Structure 1
Amino acid sequence: MDINKLVERVKNILLTPKTEWPVIAQEQTDVAKLYTGYIMILAAIPAVITFLTYTIAGSLVAGLAGAILNYALSLGLTFLMAIIIDALAPTFGAEKNQIQALKTAAYANTAGWVAGIFGIIPILGVLIIWAGMIYGCVLLYFGLPHTMKSPPEKTGGYFAVVLVINIVLSFIAMMIVGGIVAAMLIGAAVVAH
C-alpha cells in the first residue's frame, strides 16, 4: 500500500471529481486491490471513531461491538452496492462491469468515510458526516457516466435508483448497529447496578 497514492486519490476524488473519475475509469485493478488498497483503509475511519466515541462514553464492549459491526457492514454494503450498480447497468443503457461498479461504490463512499473523522465531535460531527454523505451522492452522480458508461440522458434515473437503494440499505445497517450497541449499553448499565 502506497500511502501517498491513497492520500492523492482521496484528495483528487474529493476536490476534483470531474477530472478524477475518468482516471479511475481507465485504471486496471481487481477486487482485492480495491479492498486492501482503498476500501478497507477508508472504511476503518468511521469504525475507529465509533470505537473511540463509545469507549469515551464509558463502554469498551459497546465501542468494540459498534466498531466491528460498523466496519463489517461498511465493507459488505460497498460490495452489495457494487453488485446492484452492475445489475442495474443494462436497464439504464450502461455497461455491465463488476470492477467498474465496485470502483463506483468505493470512490463515491470516500466523502462519507473521510467525514467519519468528525464523528467524535458531538452534534457538529453528525452534521459534517451528513454533508459528507450528501457529497458522496454528488460523487456517485459524476462517476456513473465514466465508470459504468451510462448515457447522459439516463444517468439521472440510474443515479436516482441506486441512491434510493443505497439509502434504504444504509438505514437498515444503521438500525442494526444502533440496536445492537444500544442493547449492549443497556446490558452494561444493568450489570453495573
Structure 2
Amino acid sequence: MSTSIVERAKNIIFKPASEWSVIAKEPATIGELFRGFALPLTFVSFVPTVSAIAAHAAGIAVPFYEYEGMGLGVTIALTFVSFIISLTLLYFMIHTVRSISPRFHGTSDEVQVAKLVIYAATPAWAATWLALIPIVGELLSAVAYAYVIYVIYLGLRTVLGVPQDKLVVFTLVVVVVYFLLLMLIAGTVAMLIV
C-alpha cells in the first residue's frame, strides 16, 4: 500500500470516486490490507469505547456510556469480542462478495474484493468517534453508515468492474449480506456467551 493509512482514509471518505481509481490499480495482498489498514482502523474505532471503560473504572461519569451497570471485566470482554467480530465479519464479507460478484458480471479476484470490502468500511470506522458528540453524534454516525453504502456503490464499478446496470442491485445485495452475516456471527457469539 503506497498511500499512508491517514491519506487513504481521508481520500476514501472525502473523494471516494477518485480514490477507488487509485485503489483498483495498486498492488496489494490480503495480508497487507488487513495488517496495514483493517486492523489499525478497527483498533482505533474501539478507542472511544476503551476510553469510556477507563473513565468509568476511574469513577468518572461518562455520558451515554453503553455498558453502565455491567462489571468492568464483562465490559472489557464484550469490547474484545466486538473487535474480533468486526474482523471476522470483514473476512466473511470478502469471501461472500467474491462468490457472488460474477453473478453481477464483476471480478472474483480475492484481492480486489478485499480492497472493496475493507476500504469501504472506512466511514463506519470513523463514525465511532462521532458517537462521542452528545445527541448529534448518533445522527452523524447514522449518516456515516449510510455513506458506506454510497462508497460501496462507487467502488463496485471501479474495483470489481460491475456494469452500470447491475450496480444498484449488487450494492443492495452487499448491504443485505452484511446484515445477515452480522446477525449470524453476533447471534452465534451470543449463544456461546449465554
**Is TM-score (shorter-chain normalized) higher than 0.5?**
yes
Q: Select 2:152's aligned residue among 137, 140, 145.
A: 140
TM-score of the aligned structures, taking structure 2 as reference length: 0.82
CA distance change for structure 1 residues 18 and 158 in 2, over 3 Å: closer, same or farther?
same
Which has the larger helix fraction? 1
Aligned equivalents of 1:76 and 1:102: distance in 2?
Answer: 13
CA RMSD of aligned residues (A): 2.5
Identify the residue that residue 44 of structure 1 maps to in structure 2.
43
1:109-188 to 2 correspondence within 5 Å?
109-172=121-184
Shift of 1:127: 2.3
Taking only the aligned residue pairs, the percentage that are identical comes to 28
Given that 1:52 and 1:63 are in contact with CA atoms closer than 8 Å, whether structure 2 keeps it comes out as no
Aligned runs of 1:23-42 on 2, under 5 Å? Answer: 23-42=22-41
Question: 1:111-131, CA deviations, whole angstroms, 9 ceiling, x for partnerless residues?
Answer: 000111133344433322222
- Cα deviation per residue 1:49-93 (whole Å; 9 max; x = unaligned)? 222334444543133212211211111111111111111111111
Structure 2 stretches lacking a partner, 5+ long: 58-70
> Which structure 1 residue ranges, 5 or more long, are not aligned?
184-193
For residue 76 of structure 2, what is the aligned residue in structure 1? 64
TM-score between both structures, scaled by the size of structure 1: 0.83
DSSP 3-state at the match of 1:120:
coil
SS in structure 2 of the partner of residue 34 of structure 1: helix
Partner of 1:94: helix, strand, or coil?
coil
1:86 aligned to 2:98? yes
